[in-house]
């Protein structure tokens, strides 16, 4: 079983603002193909970059995607624009028998 760990973050357009994580969502799928299909259906044409981590030998290993897009919300009737990124990591889930 494959699980996606989706860490969601936002940042205002102000160059001095910092990224803030606001949610962690987990979704399970039978295989990688289904997980990738869900990502394509959910995020469509949003900008997608590969996400890497170094293994024990220092070689980069692709572990998921960072998907970025522009978003907005209304605060006190005023539209507030911001940048959003979802860091999507693929994880293998093993069911244990105890």
Rounded to whole angstroms, the Cα distance separating 17 from 13 reads 7
Tokens at 5, concatenated = 């760990």
Ordered by start, the domain boundaries in the chain are 2-92
Tokens at 98, concatenated = 């105890």
Contact 83, 68 (CB under 8 A): yes
Percent of the chain having pLDDT more than 90?
89
Tokens at 62, concatenated = 């692709």
Average pLDDT (53-58) is 92
Which tens digit of pLDDT belongs to each residue from 69-79? 999 999 999 99
pTM of the model: 0.86
Q: Read off the pLDDT band of 41 (50, 70, 90).
A: very high
Closest-CA residue to 17 (of 96, 64, 82, 65): 82
Which tens digit of pLDDT belongs to each residue from 3-40? 999 999 999 999 899 999 999 999 999 999 999 999 99
Taking residue 65's Cβ as centre, other Cβ atoms within 10 Å add up to 21
């Amino acid at each position: 079983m494959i699980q996606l760990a989706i860490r969601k973050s936002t940042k205002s357009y102000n160059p001095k603002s910092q990224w803030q994580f606001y949610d962690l969502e987990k979704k399970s799928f039978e295989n990688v193909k289904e997980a990738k299909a869900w990502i394509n259906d959910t995020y469509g044409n949003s900008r997608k970059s590969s996400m890497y981590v170094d293994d024990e030998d220092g070689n980069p290993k692709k572990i998921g995607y960072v998907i970025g897009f522009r978003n907005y919300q209304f605060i006190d009737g005023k539209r507030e624009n911001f940048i959003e990124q979802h860091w999507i990591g693929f994880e293998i889930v093993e069911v244990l028998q105890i």
